[in-house]
Structure 1
Amino acid sequence: MEQKLFLGKSTSFLFGTLTYLVIMFCNLLVLTTIACTAKLHKPMFILLFNLPISDMLGATALFPQLVYSIVTQNRLISLPACVIQALLVHTYGGGNLLTLTAMAYDRYIAICCPLKYNAIMNPHTLVKMIVSIWSISISLIVVQLSLLARLKICRTNVIDLYCNNPSIVKLTCDDTRVNNYYGLFTIFICQAGPLSVILYTYAQILRTCVMNDQSNARKKAIQTCGTHLVIYFVLEFSAFIALIAHRIKIVSPYIRRALGVTILVIPPFFDPIIYGLKTKELKTGIKMFFKINVGL
């Protein structure tokens, strides 16, 4: 029995550690390639640059604490560490959704308004979009955690596999109506708003391709939009169900935990692979990066 427990513990430790290292390596590779390749200093890739930053925040929020818990067989976490973990988790979630939304808008302008692309997606616009992405993501969760600071913590059992705002709220004994109302507001800002933009922009992209009646253009647009939408809807669906599940008691906690882990594992793992392999310019940039720096 002890041997089986040790084997299971070792396997979980290795799997968690390797997954985290792969996520960090792939995302750092995308970051470095975009930063060091002059040909990639375009609006699309400058916006994409924010995605691996967000993904690394999400992976760092989950894996180090998870691996530590596996090694020590102890899920204890201090309140300050729990708050930091929640800050990273929600910043990652907001950052990812808003970055994907900005990228969808960029593709919409490129395909539907190509003659106006350079005028609209100028450096000034890019700076405003990037500042907005991170300002909204960070400010929303900082306000949430500030609202938590006024409440008395009277429980110690975090109901999820990692700390987030809803799970910390459930540790309090005071009236949490203000927190819940603000939580619903943040769900709308970070999910309903971006979802509306995503649906509109891709509907217009597909409409433009159909009207142009160009099979190659339509195929390219569908390929670009398809992978983008898959990643977006995995994150959107999982995050929405996981957050709403905290407010609906009949939902199984196991479903909420599974979706919660999916949010922090699937996009960070697959984003650099999808964009690295599906985007021709980035794929070429990565090959050149290895050729110059590694000698392959």
Structure 2
Amino acid sequence: MAYCFCGFARVMENRTDTNQILKIEGLRVTYQSAYPVFILLLLVYLFIMVSNIGLIALISVEKALHKPMYLFFCNLPLNDVLGTTVVVPALLKDIFREESDRYISYVACVIQAYGIHMFSTSAHTILMIMAFDRYVAICNPLRYNSIMTNKMVVKLTALAWVIAIVPVGIVLGLSIRLSHCSSTISNPFCDNASLFKLSCENLLVNQVVGLFTSVALWGTSMSCIALTYLKIAVVCVKSGNSALQSKAMKTCSTHLIVYLIILGCGMTAIILHRFPAYAELGKVASVLFYVIPCALNPIIYGLQTKEIRQWLQQIPWKRKVIPE
């Protein structure tokens, strides 16, 4: 990550418009609905932060949860915290501002775009390594401990983040190199498309590279998840072992629900973005992509994961009883 930010800095140092102030349209909120929207968004943001940070702390402190499955999962709430923090506080700040008074510096816009794309990319890569972990646990249970060593956990975790960090840096680097003829961001927040649309130069390279990386990410993610669950289903059916089938259902259903939520929210935002008539609805959907999964993930894992649920149920009993 440091390498990518250094690259951004070197590229922007050679440009004359890095101090440019951009106008960001944001969400259109009426005066009557400004306070309810602000309160609701703030409460959701606080819930996301408390619940996800709480899960990270729980997994870090409780030795019973120091297993590959939970160590892989720990990356998901961390990613949710980072992604939501990049988007929501900026939206909260702009809700009570007039559209003509909503500004962001070019450098801050680039940083926000980087964080947004890294969040959406790493969400897929983290879920892919979690799917691989479930595949090994169910299809090769006798070799699980020898395969999922601490070294393997570190390698897979690093791979998930590197795959998210490096391509996003390359894609944004192509947008940073362009000159600007506009200073308006039409989206609620900065992203790669908003950055390269500031230019009047030929955008074919940016559009092709952006489309290729998106298709590659989504295609690889969907193929990997589908193939993994297909193999798990085949093993469960062939074995005829009810205990194995029950284990697969319990551990895989949670992961699959989380993945489908992210996939559904992402596809909704992308589809609405293609219809100018639903521009405002598309803006809302793009914001919800960074809110709904982050809020639901800790609930789903907290309620569906046996070890986490049992630990939470035992909290009142862990308190010391002071005799009268």
TM-score normalized by the length of structure 1? 0.89
Equivalent runs, 1:1-296 vs 2, <5 Å? 7-73=32-98, 74-240=101-267, 242-243=269-270, 248=274, 252-287=278-313
Mark the CA change 1:259 to 1:166 in structure 2 (over 3 Å): closer, same or farther.
same
Q: Which amino acid aligns with 1:64?
A: P
Task: Decide which moves more: 167-176 or 32-41.
Answer: 167-176
Q: Higher Cα Rg: structure 1 or 2?
A: 2
Q: Structure 1: give runs of 5+ residues left out of the alignment.
A: none
RMSD: 2.5
Give the secondary structure class of the aligned counterpart of 1:115.
Answer: helix
Matched residue, 2:18: none
Contact 2:138–2:244 (CA<8 Å) still a contact in 1? Answer: no
Contact 2:176–2:196 (CA<8 Å) still a contact in 1? Answer: no
Contact 2:258–2:300 (CA<8 Å) still a contact in 1? Answer: no
Give the secondary structure class of the aligned counterpart of 2:289.
Answer: helix
Give the secondary structure class of the aligned counterpart of 1:86.
Answer: helix
Distance in 1 separating the partners of 2:312 and 2:276? 47
Alignment deviations for residues 159-207 of structure 1 (CA, whole Å, 9 cap, x no partner): 2221111122222111122212221232134221121110011111122
Give the secondary structure class of the aligned counterpart of 2:119.
Answer: helix
TM-score normalized by the length of structure 2? 0.82
Displacement of 1:66:
0.6
Q: Structure 2: give runs of 5+ residues left out of the alignment.
A: 1-28
Q: Which amino acid aligns with 2:257?
A: V
Identity of aligned residues (%): 35
Contact 1:154–1:172 (CA<8 Å) still a contact in 2? Answer: yes
Distance in 1 separating the partners of 2:319 and 2:96? 36
Identify, as 1 or 2, the structure richer in helix: 1
Displacement of 1:156:
2.4
Distance in 2 separating the partners of 1:294 and 1:240? 49
Q: Which amino acid aligns with 1:119?
A: S
Distance in 1 separating the partners of 2:103 and 2:183? 9
Distance in 1 separating the partners of 2:277 and 2:82? 28
Moved over 6 A (4+): none
Contact 2:68–2:133 (CA<8 Å) still a contact in 1? Answer: yes
Q: Which amino acid aligns with 1:37?
A: E
Mark the CA change 1:290 to 1:259 in structure 2 (over 3 Å): closer, same or farther.
farther
Displacement of 1:88:
1.1
Q: Which amino acid aligns with 2:258?
A: I
Distance in 2 separating the partners of 1:289 and 1:157? 51
Contact 1:58–1:88 (CA<8 Å) still a contact in 2? Answer: yes
What is the aligned length?
A: 291
Q: Which amino acid aligns with 2:160?
A: I
Displacement of 1:216:
4.5
